[in-house]
Amino acid sequence: MNAFLSQQVPLSWYLLLSAVLFSLGIVGFLIKRNLITVFMSIELMLNAVNLSFVTFARQWQFCDPSTQGCLLAQAHAVKGQIFVFFVMMVAAAEAAVGLAIIIAVFRARATLAVDRIDLMKL
């Protein structure tokens, strides 16, 4: 498997994809005016990070046992996957709370344009 992964699709491709997705998330977060789109951009960034987590986990899980440090890496690999679950859980909770906030904001201001929700100004 390790051989396949490293030969067929190199690690850098996964990471590149992850970086592209994360950057898209940032750009979306910064330039979109609609609060729901902004929210979705955050989800995109979270999932970009998730992708790099699982990539590394898989990479280390199937390392060559003869290489130095492989055993330790395998022991740690599962943590990457567990972290992904954490992130998903947080994302789910965030979705629930975030959507509730969005609804509340919409009720209060009758708009979802980020520029007009400048309540944090002094």
| Residues forming the site for another protein (CB under 8 A) | 26, 29-31, 38, 114-115, 117-122
C-alpha span between 5 and 19 (Å, rounded)? 19
For residues 35 and 57, which CB has a smaller minimum distance to another protein in the complex?
Answer: 35
Q: How far is CA 105 from the centre of its chain?
A: 25
Q: How far is the CB of 41 from another protein (least distance, A)?
A: 10
For residues 9 and 101, which CB has a smaller minimum distance to another protein in the complex?
Answer: 101
Q: How many residues make up the chain in this entry?
A: 122
Dihedral over Cα of 8, 85, 15, 77: its sign: negative
Q: How far is the CB of 58 from another protein (least distance, A)?
A: 25
